[in-house]
Amino acid sequence: MKLEREMMRGAGPTAVMHLLSGDEMYGYEIVERLASQSAGVFEMGQSTLYPMLYNLEGKGLVKSREKKGDNGRKRRYYRLTAKGCRKLEADRKQWTSLIDGLSALGVTRVSNPVSCLS
């Protein structure tokens, strides 16, 4: 199930930074991997990812370099900076907190008595 806009806002950058915490990666690859490794949840277009990467780089959370890929084509590879790594840690905590909050409110409770008449 694809995520709607406003949720992607919170989760997108975290997901990207998490991916980059494992390995150096280029844009197109990130789009593909995010979609496949999350079963479509983090499916996003290039027009979403690239500006996001520029944004993260502007904040010093990721860093990029040009490099010739396996197929001979020029690619821009991104990797997480130390600052980005710390930000990722903070985000993890935020997510844990958010999930706890939703649970405390009962939003994600499975058997919820709410019934939508009509």
Partner DNA sequence: ACCTTTTGCTATGCCATACATAGTATGCGT
Partner DNA sequence: ACGCATACTATGTATGGCATAGCAAAAGGT
- 55-114 positions binding its own copies, by CB under 8 A: 82, 85-86, 88-89, 92-102, 104-108, 112, 114
Strands (E), 1-118: 25-26, 62-68, 74-80
With contact defined as beta carbons under 8 Å apart, do 42 and 35 qualify?
yes
Q: Does 116 bind its own copies (CB under 8 A)?
A: yes
Spatial distance between the Cα atoms of 12 and 20, rounded to a whole number of angstroms: 12
Q: How far is the CB of 36 from its own copies (least distance, A)?
A: 10
Q: Which of 41, 49, 76, 77 binds its own copies (CB under 8 A)?
A: 41
Spatial distance between the Cα atoms of 94 and 81, rounded to a whole number of angstroms: 20
Binding range to DNA, per CB under 7 A, among 1-9, 80-88, 97-105, 107-115: 1-9
Residue 52: contacted member of DNA, its own copies, none (CB under 5 to 8 Å, by partner type): DNA
Spatial distance between the Cα atoms of 45 and 28, rounded to a whole number of angstroms: 10
- End-to-end CA distance of the chain, in Å? 25
Binding site for its own copies (CB under 8 A): 1, 3-4, 6-11, 13-15, 18-19, 21, 34, 37-39, 41-42, 82, 85-86, 88-89, 92-102, 104-108, 112, 114-118
